Amino acid sequence: MPQYDFDGKVVAITGAASGIGRATARKFAAAGASVVVADIDLEGAHETVAMITDAGGVASAVHVDVADSASVKAMVDATVSMYGGLDIAHNNAGIVGAGANIADMPDETWERGIAVMLSGVFYGIKHEVPAMLARGGGAIVNTSSGAGLIGFPGMANYVAAKHGVIGLTKTAALEYITQGIRINAICPGTARSRMVDEWINGSAEAEAQVAALHPIGRIADADEIAEAVLWLASPASSFVVGVAMPIDGGYTLP
């Protein structure tokens, strides 16, 4: 039995071709929602949809480049035309941090990080809000990061974008709460995903080093992050507005 009931709800998730977005898409669908699986990786999005439909759920794959406002608007329009509206959005697409200190970071690396992970969330909120207002309300969950709360050397583009997502979330929450749209952010610690697998690169030693940074002593499963997204999008969190919720095994506590 799913813990939540999202029957009749329409959910759009960016970055849903893998990792946290895929886990979230599967959980929403298992709880009865119709899910738009949006990603720049359309093949991966179709794989997520197949997982959902094989399990008896309802989902469609949509191509989106979140760094492009028109593309994000087209994703929302496609959602409304396929399922009749939009109730919940998870603005989640992301790319890995730069791996270079600021003096050595190419401008293009900085600009792409900001475009995907900060402007991408801005475009998401901008185009999702009108569709939600047409339904009388909704919920938006933005993916920030532990790197939205503390600094990390070598990842200025990522850290700046993720800090920005929290400011954007607080502002959007204030702008739209009186119209029935609750907007919050999650700040995951390290969770198993394509991004993290590439980073760890199959090395047990590297994984152990990353795990040791988390007081809980391990990295997360993407499902553990998805669980928080469902809670923030559900009536169970009805008084939660504009928070940046760490889900990080204690990573940002010290």
Interaction between residue 128 and ligand NAD (CB under 6 A): no
State the nearest-atom distance from the C-beta of 186 to ligand NAD, in Å. 8
Q: Is 4 annotated in the active site?
A: no
φ, ψ of residue 34 in degrees (nearest 5): -90, 125
Active-site pick, 4, 83, 123, 158: 158
The owner of tokens 């919050």 is 184
Interaction between residue 194 and ligand NAD (CB under 6 A): yes
State the nearest-atom distance from the C-beta of 192 to ligand NAD, in Å. 7
Interaction between residue 44 and ligand NAD (CB under 6 A): yes
Interaction between residue 19 and ligand NAD (CB under 6 A): yes
Interaction between residue 160 and ligand NAD (CB under 6 A): no
Site of interaction with ligand NAD (CB under 6 A): 14-15, 17-21, 39-41, 44, 64-67, 92-95, 116-117, 143, 145, 188, 190-191, 193-196
Residues with catalytic roles: 158
